[in-house]
Amino acid sequence: MADTLTITDNRTGKSYEVPIENGAIPTTALLQCRASEDDVGVRGYDPSFTNTASCKSRITFLDGERGILRYRGYPIEQLADQSNYLECAYLIVKGELPDVESFARWERNVTLHTMVHENIKTFISGFRYDAHPMGILLGTVGALSTFYPDASDVENLESRRLQTRRLIGKLPTIAAYAYRHIRGYPYIYPDNDLSYTGNFLSMLFRMQERRYKPDPVIERALDTLFVLHADHEQNCSTNAVRAVGSSLVDPYSAIAAGIAALYGPRHGGANEAVVRTLQRIGSVGNVARSVAQFKSGEERLMGFGHRVYKNFDPRGTIIKKLAYEVFEVTGKNPLIDVALELERIALEDDYFVERKLYPNVDFYSGIIYQAMGFPMTMFPVLFAIGRTAGWLAQWAEMIRDPEQRIARPRQLYCGEDERDYIPLDDRSPAGDREDMVSDDI
Ligand code: CMC
Q: At a CB cut-off of 8 Å and minimum separation 6, what does 220 contact?
A: none
CA distance 76 to 91: 12
Do 308 and 357 form a contact (C-beta atoms < 8 A)?
A: no
pLDDT of residue 1: 78
What are the CA-CA distances from residue 346 to residues 279, 307, 340, 342, 370 (Å)? 17, 18, 10, 6, 23
Confidence of residue 311 (pLDDT cuts 50, 70, 90): confident
Tell which atom from ligand 1 comes closest to the C-alpha of 235.
51
| Cβ-based burial of 1 (10 A; exposed 0-12, middle 13-18, buried ≥19) | exposed
For residue 294 and ligand 1, the question of a CB distance below 6 A is answered with yes
For residue 360 and ligand 1, the question of a CB distance below 6 A is answered with yes
Confidence of residue 414 (pLDDT cuts 50, 70, 90): very high
For residue 313 and ligand 1, the question of a CB distance below 6 A is answered with no
Residues with catalytic function: 267, 306, 362
Do 150 and 94 form a contact (C-beta atoms < 8 A)?
A: no
> Which residue lies with its CA nearest to atom 45 of ligand 1?
266
CA distance 260 to 254: 10
What are the tens digits of pLDDT across the range 166-188? Answer: 999 999 999 999 999 999 999 99
pLDDT of residue 49: 95
Do 238 and 232 form a contact (C-beta atoms < 8 A)?
A: yes
What are the tens digits of pLDDT across the range 71-111? Answer: 999 999 999 999 999 999 999 999 999 999 999 999 999 99
Do 195 and 219 form a contact (C-beta atoms < 8 A)?
A: yes
Q: Dihedral of CA 229/233/239/245: which sign?
A: positive
Pairing state between β 74-75 and 4-9: unpaired
From the CA of 272, how far away is ligand 1's center (Å)? 16
From the CA of 288, how far away is ligand 1's center (Å)? 20
Mean pLDDT of the chain: 94
What are the tens digits of pLDDT across the range 20-55? Answer: 999 999 999 999 999 999 999 999 999 999 999 999
Q: Give the percent of the chain with pLDDT over 90.
A: 89
From the CA of 266, how far away is ligand 1's center (Å)? 8
Residue ranges of domains in the chain, CATH in brackets: 4-45 (no CATH), 77-404 (1.10.580.10)
Confidence of residue 338 (pLDDT cuts 50, 70, 90): very high
For 104, other C-beta atoms within 10 Å of its C-beta total 11
What's the pTM? 0.93
| 196-205 and 85-94 helices, crossing angle to 10° | 120
Confidence of residue 411 (pLDDT cuts 50, 70, 90): very high
Q: List helix spans (H) across 112-195.
A: 118-125, 133-147, 157-183
What are the tens digits of pLDDT across the range 275-289? Answer: 999 999 999 999 998
For residue 355 and ligand 1, the question of a CB distance below 6 A is answered with yes
From the CA of 369, how far away is ligand 1's center (Å)? 23
For residue 290 and ligand 1, the question of a CB distance below 6 A is answered with no
CA distance 410 to 396: 24
